[in-house]
Amino acid sequence: MPDPKAVNSMFARIAARYDVANHLLSGGVDFWWRQRLVRVVHDSHPKAVLDLATGSGDVAFALADGLPPAVRITGMDFCQPMLDEAVKKRPASARWASIEFKQGDGMALPLADATFDAVTISFGLRNMADRHKALSEMRRVLRPGGQLFVLEFSQPFFWFRPFYYFYLKFILPTVAGIVTGDRSAYEYLCGSIELFPGREAMSQEILRAGFKSVHATPLTFGIVALHEAQA
């Protein structure tokens, strides 16, 4: 499992160029992934949403744009430089200004039990040192009947794997190194993607953390999955 101190240091180093790298390396598909997430969160009609591993805030901002103004949104991350980038972007929209950003560890959330109707985590679960502990914490802060939404890299459809892994191993780290100046960070991230469980295995992990009714939707040839689960 990832070392928390190393992961925190890595994200601190790439924080300033993180958004640019994400958009470039995904070919802009990350915008569509976020919109898919926002639509299912919207359909769950939450009143309070926690966006965990919020990073530079892109998911939190998309939620603010796509959910009713009365919905309370909290963005939480353990890497302060990433949160600093989110705060810099917040003045761009009056609705974004209402988002509360907090520093917190996903494996020991500084939040009361049964506080949120929905928890979202996008491309952050694979960086948790203990996924079971992190998922259990998400379950703890959800109200009974609340919804968990995990948007994360997954294992692609069989026919697409050779192309995808060639991109991950040889193209992505090189381009990311040029954009961010930190090739090693993206070598780690690519390795974490390759080792992450597929949809079925991830669904079982979510169930073991106390969730029920887990449903996984593959996106973009299966390289990403959107897991929905009920507390």
Side chain identity, residue 187: E
For residue 181, being part of any structural domain is answered with no
- Kindly indicate the confidence band of residue 17, based on its pLDDT and cuts at 50, 70 and 90: confident
What CATH number does the domain containing 114 carry?
3.40.50.150
pLDDT of 15 over the 80 cut: no
pLDDT digits (tens, 9 = 90+) for 182-194: 888 888 888 889 8
- Kindly indicate the confidence band of residue 160, based on its pLDDT and cuts at 50, 70 and 90: very high
For residue 216, being part of any structural domain is answered with yes
For residue 173, being part of any structural domain is answered with no
Between residues 137 and 195, the one the model is more confident about = 137
Q: Which strands sit side by side in the sheet containing 212-219, from one edge to the other? A: 100-103, 72-77, 48-52, 116-122, 142-153, 224-230, 212-219
Mean pLDDT for the chain overall? 94
What's the mean pLDDT in 186-211? Answer: 93
What's the mean pLDDT in 63-89? Answer: 96
Q: Number of structural domains, the chain?
A: 1
For residue 177, being part of any structural domain is answered with no
Of 1-15, 58-72, 122-136, the poorest mean pLDDT is in 1-15
Tokens 């974490």 correspond to what residue?
192
- Kindly indicate the confidence band of residue 177, based on its pLDDT and cuts at 50, 70 and 90: confident
Domain that holds residue 153: 4-157+197-230
Distance CA(158)–CA(50), nearest Å, equals 34
pLDDT digits (tens, 9 = 90+) for 24-73: 888 899 999 999 999 999 999 999 999 999 999 999 999 999 999 999 99
For residue 125, being part of any structural domain is answered with yes
Question: Over pLDDT 90: what percentage of the chain?
Answer: 75
Share in percent of the chain as helix, strand, coil (round to 5): 55, 20, 25
pLDDT of 176 over the 90 cut: no
pLDDT at 7: 78
pLDDT at 75: 98
Token duo for residue 217: 């939707």
Judged on CB neighbours under 10 Å (0-12, 13-18, 19+), 211 is buried
pLDDT of 2 over the 90 cut: no
Question: Over pLDDT 70: what percentage of the chain?
Answer: 100
pTM of the model: 0.95
What's the mean pLDDT in 87-97? Answer: 91
For residue 179, being part of any structural domain is answered with no
pLDDT at 189: 80
Return the bridge partners of 72, or none. Answer: 48
What's the mean pLDDT in 2-22? Answer: 83
For residue 109, being part of any structural domain is answered with yes
- Kindly indicate the confidence band of residue 92, based on its pLDDT and cuts at 50, 70 and 90: confident
pLDDT at 117: 98
For residue 92, being part of any structural domain is answered with yes
